[in-house]
Amino acid sequence: MVRKVKNKNPGMSIFAAFLLMLGMAALVNKSIIMTGYQHIFEKEYDVKTSSYSSLKTTPDSSADRTTSVPPSKIEPAPSVPISPDKLNSPNAILIRLKDHTTLMQKKSEEKIYPASLTKMMTTIVAIENLPNMKEEIKLTNSTFQKLYGADASMAGFQPGEQVRAIDLLLGVMLPSGAECCIGLADQIAGSEHNLVKLMNQKAADLGMKNTHFENATGLHNIKHYTTVKDLAILLSYALQNDTFREIFTSSRHSTQPTNKNPGGITFYSTMFEELNNQNIIGGEILGGKTGYTDEAGLCLASLAKVGKQEYILISAGAKGDHHSEQYNITDALAVYNSIRNTIRSS
């Protein structure tokens, strides 16, 4: 005969049920947070050569939460005067950062090779997985082995050098140092291969549906691809992180002294170097990341402030190389100036 055991402490049962409900609510909330960016730019309508997003999000300081604005309350953004057909870049997308409204796009969902624009993902994943920005990371001989002969851009560090994590992050984004990418990968994930897994997982979490990474540097690989639309989702997300934004908008940086460079190294942003003191009327290009390979063409991800609003522009595939006119920069100046013209005429 089985005896029924009476619950001598009903209060504990109620408390346990309460904890279970809290756990379920937390799981649901996490799911909402991680899928928030998947809905950016999903609803669009066409007007002449431009398309506009009808779903906006309002970011907060947590850098990973979004609040959807009901579509019925959304007003379409004004078109920009410049036609996408006049751009040198075959692929481009312009986003108003405040509400993620797409102001202009050109083959934004066509597959591209991102070249060093890849390093935006490398950087944000590294930031989110580094417990201490001041920790020293040793760059080993193996860090450099696969980069020799690959025509990878380098920041100037040496094998055996001990470098602060923050200096490596700035080395990734400003001079586009491939050795900095590998050093961070080894420290965070044990290898570049393992860091790439984290990068692809982050892309999936953000809803970058047409993106796949094969490396952390952007060196050409036929299986390493994305779209300018996906890169806009990435940059919109990453700019909400204060450390990423500070790095992205830096024009130069001097590292701390190291065992190999007692005087430190001074980095200069490749974008600001190519910009060569040019800027936009009534606004400012705040920061950016360039990219180039023979297969990818001239690429650029940039952030600008025009009037009271911030905008991001992603462009890819422009003809030319490091020795030609920088058509990615030319396109950025033309697009951002066209926004100013729209504001002045409205």
Neighbours of 18 (CB within 10 A): 10
CA distance 79 to 143: 47
What is the Cα Rg of the chain in Å?
A: 23
Residue pLDDT tens, the chain, 346 long: 433 334 445 555 555 555 555 555 555 454 444 545 555 454 342 322 332 232 233 333 333 333 333 332 333 445 576 889 899 999 999 999 999 999 999 999 999 999 999 999 999 999 999 999 999 999 999 999 889 889 899 999 999 999 999 999 999 999 999 999 999 999 999 999 999 999 999 999 999 999 999 999 999 999 999 999 999 999 999 999 999 999 999 999 999 999 999 999 999 999 999 999 999 988 999 999 999 999 999 999 999 999 999 999 999 999 999 899 999 999 999 999 999 766 555 4
Domain 106-345 has CATH 3.40.710.10: yes
What are the residue ranges spanned by the domains of the chain? 106-345
What was the pLDDT predicted at 24? 57
Query: Measured between alpha carbons, how far is residue 328 from residues 2, 120, 162, 332 in Å?
Result: 79, 17, 35, 6
Residues in the chain: 346
What was the pLDDT predicted at 344? 57
Rounded to two decimals, the pTM is 0.80
